[in-house]
Amino acid sequence: MSAGPAVDPRGPRFAAILTTIVLAVVLITQWWPLLAAQAVVFAIGAFIGLKPAPYSLIYRYLVAPRLGPTTEREDAAPLRFAQAVGFVFAVVGTVGFATGLTALGFVATAFALFAAFLNAAFNFCLGCEMYLLIKRFSPSPRAS
């Protein structure tokens, strides 16, 4: 995942709010098709890009015009990594719920919900912080 264009940091927080709502509904209902749909949303953000991601489109066309411009920008690479982590948890949760391994579904979905809630409520992106830690402790290509 290469660093993409910088993004308005309000967009990922908006996406985290929607994700929090979706994942809370999944935990309450155990409706795995909704979790599978959330996995697709994560996959688009992680593997295709943030710009075409469904929640980004909602933010860009319905929310951002009402907020006005911002000069703040955030690197897309940590956000895409966070989407990939969310994708893994959503897929594991979907498999858990769909196959009757309900405890697995609950745990995986709860972890994803916790991370989304941290971002939505406190503007703390757990996946982004993981990305930065991994990057910090990974050997630099120039070091060899």
For residue range 89-121, list pLDDT tens digits in order: 999 999 999 999 999 999 999 999 999 999 999
Classify 7 as helix, strand or coil: strand
Among candidate residues 143, 93, 109, the one with its CA nearest the CA of residue 27: 109
Whose structure tokens read 């994708």? 87
Tokens of 126: 């757990």
pTM score, whole prediction: 0.91
Give residue for tokens 């503007």: 123
Mean pLDDT across the chain: 94
Model confidence over 15-74: pLDDT tens digits?
999 999 999 999 999 999 999 999 999 999 999 999 999 999 999 999 999 998 899 999
